[in-house]
Amino acid sequence: MVLPRFLIVEARFYEEISDHLYEGAAAVLGNAGLGFDRIAVPGALEIPAVISIANQGAKPKYEGYVALGCVIRGETSHYETVCNESARGLQVLAVSLGLPIGNGILTCETWEQAVVRARPDEQNKGGGAAQACIAVFEARRRFGLVKP
């Protein structure tokens, strides 16, 4: 039996936050017995594009995707654009292609909020995103849509 593989796509704009999110996601995927790879992108807006690229071809390599990153409100409206467009991009991919995607892109007002949400020993949002991805993967399996 081939081990299902997942791809963690992480925005590295806030590296410390990304490391915490990754730690939580990797632990959940590993504890579930799933294989995974990791790829870094500069920011949250690039995550949907990389997932779309990774999913191309007749036989995509990955069964699911975990999107990790953080957007912290600044002084301009750029925050709303990045939050809304990254979430919209992930949702479009998930719904239109039926992809298991766990959205672990934090949208926070402050650095302190982000740290609490990212740390595996606190809110563990990276782990939660991996769990969401696994849940959709299992639904696909239930409906016979997972490759043998």
| 140 pLDDT higher than 90 | yes
Domains and CATH numbers, the chain: 5-142 (3.40.50.960)
**Pairing label, strands 64-72, 5-11:** parallel
CB-based contacts of 145: which residues, under 8 Å, 6+ apart? 98
pLDDT > 70 in the chain, percent: 98
The pTM for the full model equals 0.96
Measure the CA–CA gap between 143 and 127, rounded to whole angstroms: 25
Measure the CA–CA gap between 78 and 94, rounded to whole angstroms: 24
Measure the CA–CA gap between 103 and 82, rounded to whole angstroms: 14
What is the three-class DSSP state of 43? Answer: coil
| 91 pLDDT higher than 70 | yes
The two tokens of residue 56 are: 């191309």
Local confidence band at 121 (pLDDT 50, 70, 90 cut-offs)? very high
Mean pLDDT, the chain, whole residue set = 95
The two tokens of residue 104 are: 């672990």
Where is average pLDDT lowest: 64-78, 88-102, 105-119, 134-148? 134-148
| 147 pLDDT higher than 80 | no
Q: Point out the residues that are catalytic.
A: 78
Cα separations in angstroms, 75 against 79, 100, 109, 110, 111: 8, 34, 11, 12, 14
